[in-house]
Structure 1
Amino acid sequence: MEQSSDEEIWRRVLDGDARAFALIWDRHRDRVFRALISLRSEPTDAEDLSAMTFLELWRRRRQVRFVDASLLPWLLVTAHNVHRNAARARRRHRALLSRVPAAEHAPDPADLVADGTPLTRAVREVLDAARPDDRVLLALTVLDGLTVREAALALGIGESAAKMRLSRLRRRISDVAEPVKTAESAPILEGEIT
């Protein structure tokens, strides 16, 4: 079967034999790839362009031309055309982008909320000052939904130690959060009413 000419194999492709197309692929893919590399395609681009070349082979399966019963010349010409079309598309794309006016810099919405509220900043300060293991313990229980027992096992500490650490951390957070909450909810002084 390997000794068959491309023309003979191609007749089987036209009769619906998918394995016959695979034979053509196996027989010529490396040569098509090398041709595209020689045209200064990057290897990843050459892989894509090779696939596009064989897609063209499939799309034009009833119009391909054989040279001495071989598809290789047709594939190589098609690979050159595919490469040229891709290069032209890249040039057009770059030209279009060069004509598009640069956008004004808009502030990143994340920057607008990065500092957060006074309460958020206060809680962050407590968490930044906490031991890394305590922050992980808090994250495992509050964010990841583990029980205190599961989190303690994961960290290799006792459950009672984990409860004590969480209690201290919550107390520190509460100590800084209460004054901030109180200040935020304080009524407006009469002298400030306009």
Structure 2
Amino acid sequence: MTDDSDESVWQRVRSGDASAYGTIWRRHRDRVFRHHLTCGTPASDAEDLTAATFLELWRRRDAVRFVDGSLLPWLIVTAHNVSRNAARARRRYHRFLATLPPPAQIRDHADEVVDEHDERHAAVREAMAAARPTDARLLAMTAVEGFTVREAAAALGLSESAAKMRLSRLRSSLRAVIGDQPLTEGRS
């Protein structure tokens, strides 16, 4: 038995050397992961099953078998069993789901809100599409993003008075569509 065989490292694990378990993990995790993939396990599940395989190694640490000083054969057999158990659990779960009645169809209240305001929203979108792009950005910056007229005007390269005039015109055209609901400006 060589000094860095799995068997000698495992003896250090059993005597309380936590870093020795990490050595076993680093040596064999990729092979165990690949084995899970070859068993048909999706990559995201193979990561979890690799961890479960090494958990079984720890749980059964007194009963592991070495082949020529290596834990890999034991790990591969255990990985295969873990994969089979997981596949069996998935099949049982899918059979169980198939026995459940379909969920009751519940109308989403958001659809009702949209239905009520759909014409209004379409009119607002139409009015915004007809506005000049700079005016639409100006309104978005002040009404949605919370910038003051002065800040938005500076960002768009307009004078403050030109920005106020453009916003006033755009708000008037939008009020014709949405009524008197206020379009707020800035951060107060």
TM range (shorter): 0.7 to 0.9
Structure 2 unaligned regions, length at least 5: 182-188
Residue 34 of structure 1 is matched in structure 2 by 34
* RMSD between superposed Cα atoms in Å: 2.9
Distance 1:177 1:68, change over 3 A: closer
Give me the whole-angstrom Cα distance separating, in 2, the residues matched to 1:159 and 1:15.
Answer: 77
Q: Distance in 2 between matches of 1:74 and 1:118?
A: 64
1:93-118 CA distance string (max 9 Å, x none): 11111111122432222211113349
What TM-score do you get using the length of structure 1 for normalisation? 0.75
In 2: Cα distance, 1:98 partner to 1:77 partner: 32
Aligned residue number for residue 75 of structure 1:
75
SS of the residue 2:103 aligns to: coil
Q: Give per-residue Cα distances to partners, 1:4-31, cap 9 Å, x unaligned.
A: 1112212222344332222111211222
User: 5+ unaligned residues in a row in structure 1: which ranges?
Assistant: 181-194
Cα distance in 2 between the residues matched to 1:166 and 1:113? 28
User: Deviation of residue 63 (structure 1)?
Assistant: 3.7
Query: Within 5 A, what are the aligned runs for 1:1-194?
Result: 4-117=4-117, 120-121=120-121, 123-178=124-179
What secondary structure does 1:145 align onto?
coil
Name the amino acid aligned to 1:51.
Answer: A
In 2 relative to 1, CA 93–74 (structure 1 residues): closer, same or farther, beyond 3 Å? same
C-alpha distance in 1 between matches for 2:171 and 2:119: 14
How far 1:159 sits from its partner (Å)?
3.3
- Provide the C-alpha distance between the structure 2 equivalents of 1:177 and 1:42, rounded to a whole number of angstroms: 52
Q: Letter of the 1:42 partner, please give it.
A: P
The sequence identity of aligned pairs, in percent, is 58
C-alpha distance 133-64 of structure 1, shift in aligned 2 (>3 A): farther
The normalised TM-score by structure 2 is: 0.77
Q: Which residue matches 1:191?
A: none
Q: Using the alignment, how far apart are the partners of 1:56 and 1:153 within structure 2?
A: 65
